[in-house]
Amino acid sequence: MYERNIHTISTLLITEDLPAAGRLARFLYSENFQIKVATTSAHSMDILSCENVDIVLLDISSAESGYPLCHTIKEQFDIPLIIISPLDDEQSVVTGLDMGGDDYITKPFSNRELLSRVKSVLRRGNKSRYILEYKNIRVDTIRGLVTKDGRELFLSALEYRLLLVFLSNKGRVLSREILLEEIWDIGGGYVSDNTLTVYIKRIREKIEDTPSTPQIIKTVRGKGYRLGG
C-alpha cells in the first residue's frame, strides 16, 4: 500500500509487532519517506534482501522475539536501526543497544519524537547521501531545505515530494503514470492528471531560470518528463 515503483529519498522499513504501523506509515510518508511494512521476521529479511532500505524501525514485544532479529539485521545488512519497545528497564535498553540498535525508544511516544530520532540517526550516517543537487538547485532532505544559488525556495509539500522524485532519478524518463503514483495522496484523495501538470509548472517557475524553456525538468514528448540529460 505504501510502496512506490521508483526510489525516492530515505526508504524506511517498519517491522514486527506495531499495531499502529498504518498510522505511523502515513505520518512518515507525509514527511517524505518511502515506507515498507513487514509483519514477520521472515518478511523483514525478504524486504531487506530485495530492496534498498536506509533505516529500520524494529518494534519488539519482548526481548526474546526482537533482539535476535536486531542482531541478524545489523550483522547481515549493517544499516541504521531504531528499536521501539514497551520495555523501559535499563537492562532491556542496554541489551538492545549492545545488539546493534542505533537508538532505543520506549512506548508511548509521539510521532514527532520518533521523526526527530530517525533524522538524528540518519545524520550520524553519511550526511552527503541526504544532499541532492543538480546544477544550481540543492536539497537538504534532512532539513527539508531547497535552495537555488544559495537562496531558499519555498515549495508546497507536493511540489517538494515531486522535486525529490526527479532529483532521485536524474536522466531517467518518468512517465506521467509513475509521477502520479508518486504524488498520490496517501489519505486517499484523488490526484488528477491536470494536477500533475499544474505542479510541474509551479516547480519550473521556482527552479528554472526561464520556465518557458526549461533546462532542468524537460518534457519528453509522448513519454513524460526527465531531469537533465
- Between residues 185 and 96, the one the model is more confident about: 96
pLDDT of residue 192: 76
Q: What is the pLDDT of residues 67-99, one digit of tens each?
A: 888 888 888 887 899 999 888 888 888 888 888
Q: What is the mean pLDDT of residues 152-176?
A: 90
Q: 7, exposed or middle or buried, with CB in 10 Å at 0-12, 13-18, 19+?
A: middle
Q: What is the pLDDT of residues 113-162, one digit of tens each?
A: 999 999 888 877 655 457 888 999 999 887 789 999 999 999 988 899 89
Tell me the domains of the chain and their CATH numbers. Answer: 11-125 (3.40.50.2300), 129-227 (1.10.10.10)
pTM of the entire predicted model: 0.60
Q: What is the pLDDT of residues 9-57, one digit of tens each?
A: 577 888 865 556 778 888 888 888 888 888 888 888 999 888 878 899 9
pLDDT of residue 62: 55
pLDDT of residue 187: 44
